[in-house]
Amino acid sequence: MESTEQTARRDLIRICHLMYERSYVVSSDGNVSLRLDDGRILATPTMTCKGRMTEDLIAVTDLEGKSLNDRKASSELAMHLLIYRERSDVKAVCHAHPPHGTAFAVAGLAIDQPILSEVILTLGCVPLASYGTPSTNELTDAMQPLVKHHNALLMANHGAVAYGSDLWQAWDRLETLEHTAKIAILSRVLGGSRNLPADAIEKLINVREAAGYLGESARCQACGYLHETQLSCPSGDRPSVRAADVANGASKISLTREELVELLSQAVNGHDVR
């Protein structure tokens, strides 16, 4: 019978191939990892095409990132380790550059509008972490406050990451993220999307909690959906331009106080107006 580690290695390769076949990555983009029960991390090696991944290429590290075999793990391993540190429930992480999700990240938009009931049930809001240079602390620092409260993140001008209790859940969440972004963009082409009303969203949140799809700790994921009803977001991160404003072609955008001050500062030739 196949051991847990053998199954994990096989699934990791299947997900790498799926990522490449679906064009969620090209060339050597993206990285995938999982945490084994003994704490070891299996990760894709750096600079390797996910379409050509084989089991013998898998890197093994400890939770501090120390290499335990002769493969050099992804340059983004620190991002994976951050997620494992912040979320004891997470056992797998998938990072890719799926075109529609990444288009949101490039446009400076979170995927946080309540346009699809199934997405509220299974994924919740996907916030946008501000830009940080890949493979540096800038990236992990930008992501850190968001990781606890969300199951997938967009990384500004970079891509997307999703995580879950096993590889398939991490993959499913990445797939849902990309599918949602695609539908949001297509609905714009058809004239704009219509958000679900607040009472429908509350019902969905109750259903997802009763069914155990997402726990109460994820309630903050409603921040983008229920911002009118003032559910607080412990991550403190609110996207500055709401996807619905863009999706509906509205000229109105919302800014936080800090962003407004920043804009005014720029408008008066760099003078600080704070």
Residues that bind ligand 13P (CB under 6 A): 28-31, 44, 46-47, 74-76, 134
Question: What is the closest distance, in whole angstroms, from the C-beta atom of residue 168 to ligand 13P in the complex?
Answer: 20
Which CB atom, from 47 or from 207, has the smaller least distance to ligand 13P? 47
Which CB atom, from 44 or from 240, has the smaller least distance to ligand 13P? 44
Q: How far apart are CA 102 and CA 131, in angstroms?
A: 13
Burial (CB count within 10 angstroms: exposed 0-12, middle 13-18, buried 19+), residue 253: exposed
Active site residue 175: no
> For residue 129, what are its two tokens?
């972490």
Q: How far apart are CA 87 and CA 83, in angstroms?
A: 6
Residue carrying the six token digits 């095409």: 49
E strand or H helix that includes residue 168: helix 167-189
Which CB atom, from 74 or from 169, has the smaller least distance to ligand 13P? 74
Question: What is the closest distance, in whole angstroms, from the C-beta atom of residue 159 to ligand 13P in the complex?
Answer: 6
Burial (CB count within 10 angstroms: exposed 0-12, middle 13-18, buried 19+), residue 266: exposed
Q: Could you say which DSSP state residue 137 is in?
A: H
Question: What is the closest distance, in whole angstroms, from the C-beta atom of residue 230 to ligand 13P in the complex?
Answer: 36
Question: What is the closest distance, in whole angstroms, from the C-beta atom of residue 93 to ligand 13P in the complex?
Answer: 11
Which CB atom, from 91 or from 95, has the smaller least distance to ligand 13P? 95
Select which of 2, 55, 64, 76 is catalytic: 76
Any idea which residues carry the catalytic annotation? 76
